[in-house]
Structure 1
Amino acid sequence: MMIFLFEFLILSTEIFFGVYLTGKRHKGSGKKYAVLGGMAASAALLLCFYNSVSKSPALSAVILLAGILLISKILYPWDWKLLLYSGCSYLSALFLVDTVSYLLLCRYFSVPLVFWLIFSFCFRVLFYIALFTSNSLEGLLKNPRQYYKTLYGTSVAAFCGISIMLHLSFVRQDLKTPMIISILVLSVLFLRIVLGYTHVKYQREKELLATIEMQKELLEQNYTAVNRAYSQNARLFHDFHRHLEVIRQLTQKYNAPELSEYIDSVISPVRDISSMAWTGDQTVDYILNSRYAKAAEAGIPMEMNIEYPYNTNIKANDLCTILSNLLDNALEAAAAMSRQCPPDRCRITLTIRRIGNILVIKLENSSPQPSYTPDGELTSAKKGLLLHGWGMKNIESAVQKYEGMIQTAYADHIFQTTITMCFDGVKMDAAEP
């Protein structure tokens, strides 16, 4: 009677929690506890009577699995593969402990069967407590659930192998055969689990790469949209403040003081924006605006007249080399000149124009008298003079890529550099305006 009672408790809890774990995430599962408990108790009672007349633990294990799957399907409309994955994984873990503990306690140490049943029941109680109190253990069982359609075969193979181990442990008289088969089954099962884990890891990495690729595409689309809007704003602000100045003069001509005051309030922030370079090329704009800010900080007037062509084959790094070195040299020379003459005589003027397929960059800046080598090349003058040397050589190297040339001249304390470069137009994307 004691064995029957413990067997009933073990089977009823196995069925109850096996079904409950399957439908734990199902909406409204908490309202079905009473129904689930009654069905689990009824199924466990029938299985106990069957085990009393049957001597096949493997067949009992299959019937137990079928009962869990049937009750789960009735209560929760899950996919059969998910039910099979969940049920086989759950029972495999329990049967593995049962098999090992039975071989050790009953077959090796000859402990009475009732003590093994008590151990199995206590183990299940601890297992269920750990399962519902430990988030990591529950997550370990549920994380691969999204891959159950490809992993359910692993759980089915594990259930079959462990059920055979359990059957041999009960029906075989010699201990050696179950031990050997158990080692073989566990080895194969371990390899299958490793392969399943590798597959899950591969699937996750594949999904991660797909997500990163999608984010990359979205960023490229956003960049294209922002760049298109940036180019449109460049054209808008290029001469906008000049139009406002004309309107302001007209209001003064026709004696409209209130309108003139209103336009003055609008011109002030627009003039600040308009003083920046808006060429439509981010590299060019960054270099020009950063040097413009340095000139303003040093109190050196800087004027820019930019008409930069869109969509050329001139690379951004070459433009960076040319413009940054030119303007840095000009800033240093103008700063040196400001120490020798009144500040109002120091200035920097940059003009960029296109003539056909030729880009012309003309820079004029206040500068002390430069010095030349006997070969006619400018010498470096970091202390108080215009900085030429490696910077100018880098400029020459970049200009030569586009079949260009550099000309320099000096007169009345103004150093002038003129650069011409040939470029090829690049066709614009049809989607762009």
Structure 2
Amino acid sequence: MAETNNEALLISLLWVCISIFLADIYIYYLFNKLASLYNQKSQFMMLQQEKNLQTKYYNELENKYTEYRQLAHDINRHLGILDELYSNGHLNEAEEYATQIKKMMDSSKIAVHTNNKIINILVNDKIDTAQRNDIEFIYNCEDTALSFIDDIDLTIILSNLLDNAFEECMNNKAEHNTINLCICQINNFNIINLTNTCYTPPQLNHNRYLSTKAGHSGIGMINVENTVKKYNGSFMSEFKDHLFTTQITFTQML
């Protein structure tokens, strides 16, 4: 009888131990699941914050672009006023008016004209940045069939690529920095290719290059990749010979 009781007690203790062990495993699983969900939520919030910043950036640049278009629309009226001032002998007033027009043109000049508003806005903005920071900015922007990409999505792609390239060139303290942007169409493919000098080798994490900037975790580039995938495009980046290259390819939408 005693032996039977001892066996029952041992079996009970064994089941208790097994139950505690299984409970520990389940609790560990729950903690990992919660931690994963928290990380996913944090990353999602950072991605959304980045998208909101890109939307704000786009709106600011679009306002600048709208000002230029308004000025271009009114240029004939301005020329008519100048002609009238000169014809009536008001030379001083004419010269002052011409100076004001020149200032307005200089503050809203656009050097790139394509069939895509977003390309025009972003590239022209970076032309000014390049001139202020002594960066050689080479750009070849053709008319391409990118109208299938929403304006905000194209802003996310281009602004992140350009911002990263310009920040690297402005911070690396090299004697000469070059950024080369090519937006073109080859056969049935629309291609965005950006190359910039890069003297700090970026780190790789899960086949993705991390930002070399302190405090940055590559959220911007994750947004770019996700946006490219949204349109079934391909994304490639490479670091070689102090050059960082990113190429995005979309199959032409028919």
TM-score (structure 1 length as normaliser): 0.32
Listed one character per residue, the Cα deviations across residues 235-287 of structure 1 (whole Å, up to 9, x for unaligned) are xxxxxxxxxxxxxxxxxxxxxxxxxxxxxxxxxxxxxx998211122222111
Amino acid paired to 1:308: D
**Cα offset for 1:383?**
3.1
Q: Which residue in 1 is equivalent to 2:182?
A: 351
Contact 2:202-2:211 at 8 Å conserved across structures: no
From 270, 276, 280, give the equivalent of 2:111.
276
Question: Is 1:309–2:144 an aligned residue pair?
Answer: yes
- Structure 2 Cα separation of the partners of residues 307 and 279 of structure 1: 6
Q: Which residue in 2 is equivalent to 1:165?
A: none
Residues 1:421 and 1:311: Cα distance change in structure 2 (over 3 Å): closer
Residues 1:390 and 1:298: Cα distance change in structure 2 (over 3 Å): same
Amino acid paired to 2:190: L
Which structure 1 segments of 5+ residues have no match?
Answer: 1-222, 231-272, 426-433
Contact 1:279-1:285 at 8 Å conserved across structures: yes
Question: Is 1:412–2:241 an aligned residue pair?
Answer: yes
Question: Is 1:372–2:204 an aligned residue pair?
Answer: yes
2:149 is paired with a residue of what secondary structure?
A: coil
Q: Which residue in 2 is equivalent to 1:383?
A: 214
Contact 1:314-1:423 at 8 Å conserved across structures: no
- Structure 2 Cα separation of the partners of residues 287 and 311 of structure 1: 15
Contact 1:378-1:388 at 8 Å conserved across structures: no
- Structure 2 Cα separation of the partners of residues 323 and 395 of structure 1: 8
Q: Which residue in 2 is equivalent to 1:321?
A: 156
Larger radius of gyration: 1
- Structure 1 Cα separation of the partners of residues 122 and 236 of structure 2: 22
Amino acid paired to 2:160: N
Between the two proteins, the alignment pairs up a number of residues equal to 151
Residues 1:421 and 1:317: Cα distance change in structure 2 (over 3 Å): same
- Structure 2 Cα separation of the partners of residues 347 and 275 of structure 1: 21
**Cα offset for 1:376?**
2.3
Contact 1:402-1:422 at 8 Å conserved across structures: no
Residues 1:363 and 1:311: Cα distance change in structure 2 (over 3 Å): closer
Residues 1:312 and 1:391: Cα distance change in structure 2 (over 3 Å): same
- Structure 2 Cα separation of the partners of residues 394 and 311 of structure 1: 18
**Cα offset for 1:411?**
1.4
Contact 2:145-2:252 at 8 Å conserved across structures: no
Identify the structure with the greater helix proportion: 1
**Cα offset for 1:371?**
1.0
Listed one character per residue, the Cα deviations across residues 348-373 of structure 1 (whole Å, up to 9, x for unaligned) are 00001112332101100011211112
**Cα offset for 1:308?**
2.8
- Structure 2 Cα separation of the partners of residues 330 and 380 of structure 1: 11
> Where in structure 1 do 4 or more consecutive aligned residues deviate above 3 Å?
none
Listed one character per residue, the Cα deviations across residues 16-55 of structure 1 (whole Å, up to 9, x for unaligned) are xxxxxxxxxxxxxxxxxxxxxxxxxxxxxxxxxxxxxxxx
1:304 is paired with a residue of what secondary structure?
A: strand
Identify the structure with the greater strand proportion: 2
Contact 2:116-2:146 at 8 Å conserved across structures: no
Which structure 2 segments of 5+ residues have no match?
Answer: 1-65, 74-107
From 395, 398, 416, give the equivalent of 2:227.
398
1:406 is paired with a residue of what secondary structure?
A: strand
Contact 1:361-1:420 at 8 Å conserved across structures: yes
Contact 2:112-2:120 at 8 Å conserved across structures: yes
2:209 is paired with a residue of what secondary structure?
A: coil
**Cα offset for 1:402?**
1.6
Using the aligned pairs only, state the percent identity.
Answer: 31
Listed one character per residue, the Cα deviations across residues 335-358 of structure 1 (whole Å, up to 9, x for unaligned) are 222x1x32x2x1100001112332
Residues 1:412 and 1:423: Cα distance change in structure 2 (over 3 Å): same
Residues 1:330 and 1:348: Cα distance change in structure 2 (over 3 Å): same
From 102, 118, 126, give the equivalent of 1:291.
126
1:312 is paired with a residue of what secondary structure?
A: coil
Give 1:43-82 correspondences, 5 Å limit. Answer: none
Give 1:172-211 correspondences, 5 Å limit. Answer: none
Give 1:27-46 correspondences, 5 Å limit. Answer: none
Residues 1:275 and 1:304: Cα distance change in structure 2 (over 3 Å): farther
**Cα offset for 1:397?**
1.3
- Structure 2 Cα separation of the partners of residues 295 and 320 of structure 1: 19
